[in-house]
Structure 1
Amino acid sequence: MASENVLKNVLASIYKGETATGSVSAAEIRTHQFFLMASQPSSEAEVVTVDVQAAKDLIGSGHRYLDVRTEDEFKKGHVDVENVLNIPYMFNTPEGRVKNPKFMEQVLSACSKDDHFVVGCQTGVRSVYATTDLLRADFKSVYNMGGGYVAWVENGFATKKAEVEAVAIS
């Protein structure tokens, strides 16, 4: 799959300073850093967080973008990619944020565990939790987008305020 080549090139740029197409600068290496972080104790699934450039590359190679922000956040602006899906991981309530009790059910109704995902939220926090849940549920290829939508916007990548598939909450 094309995404495997993207990952190989990103990893090569981190560890060797070169890709299949030649050498890269130190700035490009910093841009493509991968951060491994354990979201829970080592017996749990490990979340792989990628920076927004690597996330954009993965999405361009066929990964689906799963935006786990609230529907209101999504409507105000979201990542402008072809294969985007909005399923909120948390809801805002008068008591504060609460986890969407139907999150996994909604993801499973729209996707397969074999689908490839980049998961994002506003700043990269909720998406870590969502990615952890997806990995625990045996989804095979799931990456967290570090920095979330804020980092996407800061990097000048395309955004949009259009109606894109949103899963109805019932």
Structure 2
Amino acid sequence: MSAFMTIDAETLHGMIKQDDLVLIDVRNDDEVARGIIQGAKHIPLANLPQAFDKLPKKSSIVFYCHSGIRSAHAASYLAEHDYHDVYNLAGGVIAWANAGYTFSALK
């Protein structure tokens, strides 16, 4: 069985500079309206089964949510579908904000 890796906010901040990074926010619309990590795509967790096959298998894919629970489910789902470079942001946007990193408005 495939697994995903858990990373912290500092690790993600360093990874954001990668060209092949796909960052996905799995929170609900009302949560995302309050701010999103710059460069992230918004795919609500409920929509992931219909949308995941459009994600590139050769890229690093990082999921995040509010606290890291829903994004862990999303990362596990992709790992089960033969994606190999999958990550979950431990602590979600709470950890991101606590580390002093900022958010941008959803485009």
In the other structure, the counterpart of 2:7 is: 50
CA contact (8 A) 1:115 1:139 kept: no
TM-score (norm 1): 0.58
Q: For residue 88 of structure 1, report the CA deviation from its aligned partner.
A: 0.8
1:112, 1:141 → 2: CA distance? 10
**Could you tell me which of 125, 133, 144 is aligned with 2:69?**
125
CA contact (8 A) 1:87 1:107 kept: no
Q: For residue 107 of structure 1, report the CA deviation from its aligned partner.
A: 2.4
Larger Rg: 1
Q: For residue 154 of structure 1, report the CA deviation from its aligned partner.
A: 1.1
State the AA in 2 paired with 1:127. Answer: S
- 1:150 equivalent in alignment to 2:94: yes
CA contact (8 A) 1:52 1:146 kept: yes
Q: For residue 79 of structure 1, report the CA deviation from its aligned partner.
A: 0.9
1:151, 1:134 → 2: CA distance? 23
The structure showing larger relative contact order (alpha-carbon pairs under 8 Å, at least 6 residues apart) is 2
Counting only pairs closer than 5 Å after superposition, residues 1-170 of structure 1 correspond to structure 2 as 44-62=1-19, 63-80=21-38, 82=39, 84-89=40-45, 100=46, 102-109=47-54, 111-163=55-107
Q: For residue 135 of structure 1, report the CA deviation from its aligned partner.
A: 0.5
State the AA in 2 paired with 1:148. Answer: G
2:35, 2:69 → 1: CA distance? 18
TM-score (norm 2): 0.89
1:47, 1:65 → 2: CA distance? 14
Between the aligned residues of both structures, percent identity stands at: 26
- Aligned-partner SS, 1:65: strand
Structure 1's unaligned 5+ residue stretches are: 1-43, 90-99, 164-170
